[in-house]
Homo-oligomer: A and B are copies of this chain.
């Protein structure tokens, strides 16, 4: 990864980042669901057709995990890594087999810590989109960020 890493003092509200792409496969949907979300509409096409999803859909947590992969590998160049404290998540529509997804991120707020001078919290709105530009997941995250001087090589 050749990306320039960003520190707390580099972030400003309105900055935007776009990740690379990831293809959602039926096999991936089933494998994740079998381990973590074993419900018929994530595992079986016929059961999924009869469900509220009207077809096989990825677990929302699979969608979230893929979003994280994209953010870590290409989306958000936070120095010190992507350490989320939490946030608000919504899945406005299902993720489907064959979807090619990417994340569009926007810095919403930058807040230095009152108690820890070397760090702060950056709020980022991350929208996972499919190849049609439809929003699959919106995750507004609070992410730990470090000042440049906190990460100086020791």
Contact = CB atoms under 8 A, between A and B. Distances in A.
A38 B37 CA distance: 21
B90 A41 contact: no
Interface string A63-107: 011101100110000001111111111110000000000000000
Interface string A54-69: 0000011110111011
Given A36-B65, A61-B64, A41 B81 contact: yes
A15 interface: no
Interface residues of A, number: 35
B36 A68 contact: yes
- Copies of this chain, complex-wide, total 2
Contact of A87 (B51, B62, B69, B89): B89
A134 to B, nearest CB: 16
Interface string A39-52: 11100000000011
Contact of A72 (B39, B62, B81): B39
A72 B144 contact: no
Nearest to A82: B39
A108 to B, nearest CB: 15
Contact of A37 (B72, B87, B91): B72
A35 interface: yes
